[in-house]
Structure 1
């Protein structure tokens, strides 16, 4: 689909479609001249999930859900808020969970050198495809290990401060994903909970990685 066709299908503006491409909610399929082509499957998935998932969680609630699903303690919500969240988690699917947790961060894709990726890995909390170089983590998602892509979380403003000096070029098909947080408390120790890694994999351009992320979320939801 073109950007205009996707906008018409989703009943949003073309600017909203471009934003969804930037944060990896929609997948770019290619380019025809100056026209960006969008994967039709991702458009229909957004349309379907948007209708059934309800109101998106705030950043704080999304991270609370990710921590709860990972079996980790949540300290930033009240007991009544946690009770409601646990009740909600008992009735969602992996696809709905991914949609509800969209506000966990603002994401942008880039291309850059291997040295830039190495510097990013030291400055950010690595997640998603960026962790698949670790055979142990890759195996836990039933994926083959392999280096190349980078994905990580950083405090809001990180991109503006560092993109130029690292030589990063914004590209919706790039293999560097930077997710900026306003609410940084959950990642103060630099470790990303399992559920967040899984949800981030669900945003991958790779069908296999998306499926692995979805399967892990389903596993964690059923284990509750």
Structure 2
């Protein structure tokens, strides 16, 4: 790695507009990757910044975020009460900028990135839930790359069993959620909204643009 792949603790705090203590908490939670004391991987910071776009907009709780996705996907969010459903629908009708939606639902899952031995890829691919990126015209980036959802209670076991290594520039992106995984599975497999949200926070600007345009069209159609 060259020097540009690293960023100091203080620089990270300044970029995220948080305290160094908060940065350390993000490292401990796995949101950021520390290379050595006081030095972090820049890719992990970039990914975190992208996932927190428009971070000053208040995010919804995990179950509410998935409810909003269900509503935008012309489904029912049975786990939300009538009052909360009405409130979410009203907010969605008022959204114009896709980045506001991205921010609202950013807590639907916690993003972790890993590297893995090639032999573990097929087993991992069978475990995680993969959004249908083909629906957005995005071609699968390769057999060695995985980007999908996994239940929070399964994560530690999968890491241990398959020998995953935390690495911000790794080819394995796991979106860890504590929400009802049966509901998550239905939405991930059928909703283009999930695929668009994932694409809209990609580091690749082309993929990011595709996702943001798809979200803009979804919001326009919902209004």
- TM-score category by the smaller chain? 0.7 to 0.9
Alignment partner for residue 54 of structure 2, among 49, 70, 78? Answer: 49
Task: Tell me the alpha carbon deviations over residues 170-221 of structure 1, each in whole angstroms, 9 at most, x when there is no partner.
Answer: 0011121112221124225472622122111223221111111111111111
Alignment partner for residue 20 of structure 2, among 14, 26, 43? Answer: 14
Task: Tell me the alpha carbon deviations over residues 26-45 of structure 1, each in whole angstroms, 9 at most, x when there is no partner.
Answer: xx9xx89x833637987887
Alignment partner for residue 221 of structure 1, among 213, 219, 222? Answer: 219
The change in CA–CA distance for 1:168 and 1:73 in structure 2 (over 3 A counts) is same
The equivalent residue for 1:149 is: 145
The change in CA–CA distance for 1:7 and 1:197 in structure 2 (over 3 A counts) is same
The equivalent residue for 2:3 is: none
The equivalent residue for 2:163 is: 167
Alpha-carbon distance in structure 1 between the residues aligned to 2:219 and 2:88: 13
Given that 1:154 and 1:178 are in contact with CA atoms closer than 8 Å, whether structure 2 keeps it comes out as yes
The equivalent residue for 2:11 is: 5
Cα RMSD for the two superposed structures: 3.1
Alignment partner for residue 206 of structure 2, among 205, 208, 216? Answer: 208
How much does 1:48 deviate? 7.0
Alignment partner for residue 183 of structure 2, among 181, 186, 189? Answer: 186
Alpha-carbon distance in structure 2 between the residues aligned to 1:187 and 1:50: 23
The change in CA–CA distance for 1:2 and 1:207 in structure 2 (over 3 A counts) is farther
Instruction: Tell me, yes or no, if structure 1 residue 59 matches structure 2 residue 58.
Output: no
Given that 1:151 and 1:176 are in contact with CA atoms closer than 8 Å, whether structure 2 keeps it comes out as yes
Alpha-carbon distance in structure 1 between the residues aligned to 2:63 and 2:94: 20
How much does 1:145 deviate? 4.0
**Unaligned segments of structure 1, at least 5 residues:** none
How much does 1:8 deviate? 2.6
**Relative to total residues, which structure has the larger helix share, 1 or 2?**
2
Given that 2:113 and 2:170 are in contact with CA atoms closer than 8 Å, whether structure 1 keeps it comes out as yes
TM-score (norm 1): 0.78
Query: Bigger shift: 200-209 or 86-95?
Result: 200-209
Alignment partner for residue 69 of structure 1, among 42, 57, 72? Answer: 72
The change in CA–CA distance for 1:204 and 1:61 in structure 2 (over 3 A counts) is same
Alpha-carbon distance in structure 2 between the residues aligned to 1:162 and 1:56: 28
The change in CA–CA distance for 1:43 and 1:23 in structure 2 (over 3 A counts) is closer
**Unaligned segments of structure 2, at least 5 residues:** 1-6
Given that 1:3 and 1:38 are in contact with CA atoms closer than 8 Å, whether structure 2 keeps it comes out as no
Aligned residue pairs, count: 208
